[in-house]
Amino acid sequence: MAKQDPAKKRVAVLISGRGSNMAALIEAASARDYPAEIALVVSNRPDAFGLTRAREAGVATAVVDHKTFAEDRAAFERALDATLEAHRIDIVCLAGFMRLLTPWFVTRWNGRLLNIHPALLPQFKGLHTHRRALEAGVKRHGATVHFVATEMDSGPIIAQDWVAVRDDDTEETLAARVLELEHRIYPQALRLVAEGRENPLFAGGEKTPQ
Ligand code: GAR
């Protein structure tokens, strides 16, 4: 087992799928001076590809399969919470975790629960953000890391960055460029939170809005 540094915050990354943001967080946290360690990856889906990536990176994994709890959301979240507590987790990062969390869980982890959303919140909450951005004809589209509040895709913003939308963009090309931003701003945002320096006005990018 990897040596633990008591000065570092213990982070759990919650996933449901491929886990590319999780991989970016693991990569960033491998730096000696990073203030957090990825102590656990939890998936609500046993077949999530991200679990394989996490294991290959030597990170502990757990599955809390929502299907085994049928429609009992409270029981699912209690099991999730118990898993996090068992691993002495300080901060939880949602990274493509596609389950809505109830106010009980959100309140319990208030100020220690982060999410990444593939849009410039408060624009395009919910699903299919890239398609909706193209349909709306916006000139800029991006990604947001925010503290989770009880209302979906809302809560204080920690980091945000954007790309220019091109005339020939498709959902896929736009998603790919936004994903690159995600991989950059999530580690930046987690660093700020782990160091207690988060500022809701922080903007992750170098660009000056025109
Ligand atoms: C990411 O684009 C993330 O922003 C999005 O799911 C993708 C997960 O990819 N999250 C949401 O849409 C949450 N509302 P990943 O598994 O490769 O990190």
Cα-Cα-Cα-Cα dihedral sign, residues 205, 95, 108, 102: positive
Distance CA 207, CA 210 (A): 9
Q: What pLDDT score does 121 carry?
A: 98
Q: Which of 178, 182, 151 is nearest to 165 (CA)?
A: 178
CA separation (Å) from 199 to 2, 182, 191? 31, 18, 12
Distance CA 13, CA 46 (A): 15
Q: What pLDDT score does 3 carry?
A: 66
With respect to CATH, is domain 115-210 assigned 3.40.50.170?
yes
Fold of 1-109: Rossmann fold (3.40.50)
Q: What pLDDT score does 209 carry?
A: 41
Q: What pLDDT score does 207 carry?
A: 44
Contact 77, 105 (CB under 8 A): yes
Report the residue among 97, 182, 184 best suited for mutation to probe ligand 1: largest number of ligand atoms under 8 A from its CB: 182
Q: Domain boundaries in the chain? A: 1-109, 115-210
Contact 11, 92 (CB under 8 A): yes
- List per-block mean pLDDT (blocks of 10 residues) for the chain, which spans 210 residues: 80 98 98 98 98 98 95 96 98 97 97 98 98 98 97 95 98 98 98 85 43
Give the strand pairing for 140-147 and 61-63.
Answer: unpaired
Q: What pLDDT score does 203 carry?
A: 45
Distance CA 77, CA 131 (A): 31
Q: What pLDDT score does 4 carry?
A: 74
Can 1-109 and 115-210 be said to share one CATH topology?
yes
Q: What pLDDT score does 59 carry?
A: 98
Contact 24, 186 (CB under 8 A): yes
Distance CA 208, CA 210 (A): 6
pTM value is: 0.93
Contact 134, 123 (CB under 8 A): no
- Which residues are identified as catalytic? 117
Ligand 1 centroid from CA 50, angstroms: 12
Q: What pLDDT score does 202 carry?
A: 46
Distance CA 60, CA 210 (A): 44
Q: What pLDDT score does 2 carry?
A: 58
Nearest protein CA to atom 5 of ligand 1, as residue: 96
Ligand 1 centroid from CA 132, angstroms: 15
